């Protein structure tokens, strides 16, 4: 049995309905999306937990109930009296999606306030999963505490998985973002960057350069995603490339990378085979981008594009 703890922020998502000015409330967030897909992909004996903070209000309770219903362990979620969960709203203009966020004061930003809460969540776990968004939302001192906690976890045999998920809007400037990302890489065993973002912010000339930069930071296994392009995996003495099957009718790329990560990890944990993990990851991501929304049922029928 493997126990995985994903650490980050789940938000309320307001998605537009066909009736004007009507929105449907759901829940999503990068690390939560990965946890949700991991729960679906892994056999029942494995455990997927989520570590975050929420409020005591109705929406916070509903969020935790949603995670519970998905089979995600919520026992270590912090509950705060002074704040609530963050929110984002999707707007559609001529088919183009744009996002508005209300997350600046969210409870998740204070998830490390509780003394010993992270240590309790990681006790007995095999794997911790974080992203660049997890890093971005924390105050500087709490980010340092998180990275220290992950180093201690690693020293006791735990594995740390990190998706840099670069979001410059969440950082004061590019240098703060790239600096924190490389600090997190230094405590990570598996890193799952997306080449396009990495090229923009680190100036990597090729996916190989991205892989090498993380390898140089001490990461054992680097998986470089590249949209529809070739996936590259580099580990000790191994270099695997894999061309994902093209998806011709992309409906919504939300959670492409998050679902890819879950597909990769579930398969890799199963048999350690890198090529098979790429196949599983690309297949899950292809399914997700062929549907609307971040969280897509694995048995959702393919959407038929409008004639
Ligand atoms: P992110 O969402 O983190 O930016 P990417 O855009 O690199 O991540 O996409 C993650 C994965 O989703 C890719 O490695 C690939 O497997 C799949 N994917 C994304 N776009 C396409 C596409 N147009 N066709 C096929 N697969 C895609």
- Neighbour count for residue 106 (Cβ, 10 Å): 25
pLDDT of residue 300: 77
- Number of alpha carbons in the 13 Å side-chain half-sphere of residue 220: 9
In the prediction, which pLDDT does 306 show? 39
User: Residue 94 above 80 pLDDT?
Assistant: no
**Mean pLDDT value across the chain:** 95
Structure tokens at 18: 């066909």
Nearest atom in ligand 1 to the alpha carbon of residue 165 is: 3
Does the CB atom of residue 260 touch ligand 1 within 6 A?
A: yes
User: Is residue 163 annotated as part of the catalytic site, yes or no?
Assistant: no
Kindly indicate the confidence band of residue 303, based on its pLDDT and cuts at 50, 70 and 90: low
Classify residue 133 by burial, with Cβ atoms within 10 Å: 0-12, 13-18, 19+. Answer: buried
- In testing the pocket of ligand 1, which one of 132, 233, 242, 244 has its CB within 8 Å of the most ligand atoms? 244
Q: Is 221 in the pocket of ligand 1 (CB under 6 A)?
A: no
pLDDT, position 302:
57
Q: Which two tokens stand for residue 195?
A: 């080449």
- Read off the pLDDT of residues 212-267 as tens digits, 9 standing for 90 and up: 999 999 999 999 999 999 999 999 999 999 999 999 989 889 999 999 999 999 99
Q: Which residues lie below 8 Å from residue 25, measured CB to CB, with a gap of 6+?
A: 12, 13, 14
Q: Where does the pLDDT of residue 305 fall: very low under 50, low under 70, confident under 90, or very high at 90 and above?
A: very low
Q: If you search the block for the tokens 């038929």, which residue do you land on?
A: 304
pLDDT over 80 (residue 201) = yes
Question: What pLDDT score was predicted for residue 48?
Answer: 98
Q: Is the ipTM of this complex over 0.85?
A: yes
CA distance 244 to 103: 34
């Amino acid at each position: 049995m493997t126990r995985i703890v994903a650490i980050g922020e789940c938000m309320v998502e307001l998605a537009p309905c066909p009736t004007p000015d009507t929105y449907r409330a759901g829940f999503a967030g990068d690390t939560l999306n990965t946890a949700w897909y991991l729960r679906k992909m892994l056999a029942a004996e494995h455990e997927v937990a989520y570590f975050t903070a929420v409020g005591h209000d109705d929406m916070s309770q509903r969020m935790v109930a949603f995670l519970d219903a998905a089979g995600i362990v919520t026992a270590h979620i912090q509950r705060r009296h002074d704040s609530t969960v963050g929110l984002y709203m999707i707007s559609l203009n001529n088919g183009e999606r744009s996002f508005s966020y209300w997350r600046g004061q969210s409870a998740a930003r204070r998830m490390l306030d509780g003394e010993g809460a992270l240590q309790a969540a990681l006790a007995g776990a095999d794997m911790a999963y974080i992203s660049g968004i997890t890093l971005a939302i924390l105050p500087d001192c709490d980010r340092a505490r998180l990275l220290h906690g992950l180093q201690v976890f690693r020293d006791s045999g735990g594995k740390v998985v990190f998706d840099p998920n670069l979001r410059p809007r969440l950082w004061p400037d590019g240098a703060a973002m790239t600096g924190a990302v490389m600090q997190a890489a230094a405590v990570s065993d598996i890193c799952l960057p997306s080449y396009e973002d990495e090229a923009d912010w680190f100036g990597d000339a090729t996916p190989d350069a991205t892989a090498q930069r993380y390898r140089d930071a001490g990461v054992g296994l680097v998986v470089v995603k590249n949209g529809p392009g070739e996936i590259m995996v580099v580990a000790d003495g191994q270099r695997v490339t894999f061309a994902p099957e093209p998806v011709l009718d992309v409906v919504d790329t939300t959670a492409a990378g998050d679902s890819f990560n879950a597909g990769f990890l579930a398969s890799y944990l199963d048999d350690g085979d890198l090529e098979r993990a790429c196949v599983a990851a690309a297949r899950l991501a292809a399914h997700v981008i062929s549907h609307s929304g971040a969280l897509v049922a694995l048995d959702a029928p393919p959407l038929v594009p409008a004639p």
